[in-house]
Structures are given as C-alpha cells and as structure tokens.
Amino acid sequence: MEKQNQNQAPVSIKEWIIIFILSALPIVNIVMLFVWAFGGNANKSVENWAKASLLLFIFVVVLFGIIALLGVIFYQM
C-alpha cells in the first residue's frame, strides 16, 4: 500500500531536474525512458511522461525514415 501511495505522490522539482538531465544524455535517455516507462517502480506521472516520450520518439524516427526514403527515391529519378 505504501508503494502505491509513493507512486501517486507529486514529483518534486529536484526529481524533475534530474529526469530532464538524464533524458538529455545520448543513449542514456532511451535506456532511462524504457526503465521509467516499464520498470514498475517509477512515479505514475514519470511513467506516463516516459511512455509519451517514447511514442513521440518512435513517431519522429518513423517520420524521418519516410522522408529519407522519399528523398532517396526522388533523388534517383
């Protein structure tokens, strides 16, 4: 029960700053997003933010992949 209450408590400014610093580091950011999103012991707000960030990251990678593919196709014409 205490673990559930801890996961519902507001995230402090200090914790958000640490989260933003870790999410700014290359490679570490992807690993930490997966840990926060699916690790199970992160705060619910952080967990939801990490899932949303991963979805946005996947969307951007796919979009850039499509743009790059179209660029290659049209360049060869």
pLDDT means per 10 residues, the chain with 77 residues, are 68 96 95 94 94 97 97 88
For residue 11, give its domain range.
Answer: 2-75
Number of domains in the chain: 1
Q: Which string of b and e fits 16-55 if b means at least 16 CB within 10 Å? A: eeebeeebeeeeebeebbeebbeeeebbeebbebbeebbe
Write down the pLDDT at residue 22: 95
